[in-house]
Amino acid sequence: MSQTRRRLLAAALGVAFAPVARVFAAALDDAPDGAVLLVAKPDLTDANFRDTVVCVMPAPEGVGTMGLILNKPLAARLADAAPEAGGLALASERIYHGGPLAQNRILFLLQSEVAPANSLRLLDDVFLSADAGLPQQIVRGEIAAQALRAYIGYAAWAPRQLKAEIAAGAWLVTAADASTIFSADAPALWPAMLKRLTTRTAHGGWQGAERV
């Protein structure tokens, strides 16, 4: 990864995320392009990840992994955490529980044709940002957003930990896409994806574990 992209990543995650930023940056070196989705199997008993769908970046061997839980909306709304978002049509969107780490921080996933400053591209039109000013930039018309999600906290795995969990049968893995990440019915995401991927796996479909 270029030094420029490493600096971008550090800026995207913010100073408080510096340790995980270094890990996440390394995860992008020589890794396949594009985020993937983890879908918890029914027998995964970890309370942090039971019945979850998690968006993660693929990581090469020996590097840790970072992700955001997609299907656990909280009671709070975007406008509650970011008053400057009050002018957005998305202001009534719920904030999501992104994971058990850094519960005092907010992260954004944004769908846009143009990359915001200090953001990290996850898919062609989906970006990760920890810029608290992002909602205000959208209000001012500086960024055209097709979708915006806010997350409190994030998830992370030590090197080889996630691969071991997948090998043990804790997760199904598939390619990420914007429509799933920004699903209008996030609470229904886990059972729907579990059914689809279980059927696909039964018919010899790709699980994608080699990309994590």
Buried b (16+ CB within 10 A) or exposed e, 114-147: eebebbbbbbeebbbbbbeebbbbbbeeebebeb
What are the pLDDT digits (tens) for 129-167?
888 888 888 878 888 888 889 999 999 988 888 888 999
For residue 37, the tally of other CB atoms under 10 A from its CB is: 23
Region 72-83: mean pLDDT is: 79
| Pick from 178, 68, 85, 90: nearest CA to 131 | 85
Residue type, 35: A
Residue 95 near residue 122, CB atoms below 8 Å: no
pLDDT, mean over the chain: 78
The 10s digit of each residue's pLDDT in 81-115 is 666 655 566 656 788 999 999 888 889 999 999 88
Decide if pLDDT at 206 tops 50: no
pLDDT tens-digit profile of 172-191? 999 999 999 999 899 999 99
**Which pLDDT value is given to residue 62?**
62
**Lowest-confidence region among 18-22, 77-81, 136-140:** 18-22
Quick check: 200 pLDDT over 70? no
Select the more confidently predicted residue: 48 or 65.
48
Percent with pLDDT over 70 in the chain: 68
pTM for this structure?
0.79
Q: Structural domain boundaries of the chain?
A: 3-211
**Residue 74, pLDDT score:** 92
Report the CATH architecture of 3-211. 3-Layer(aba) Sandwich (3.40)
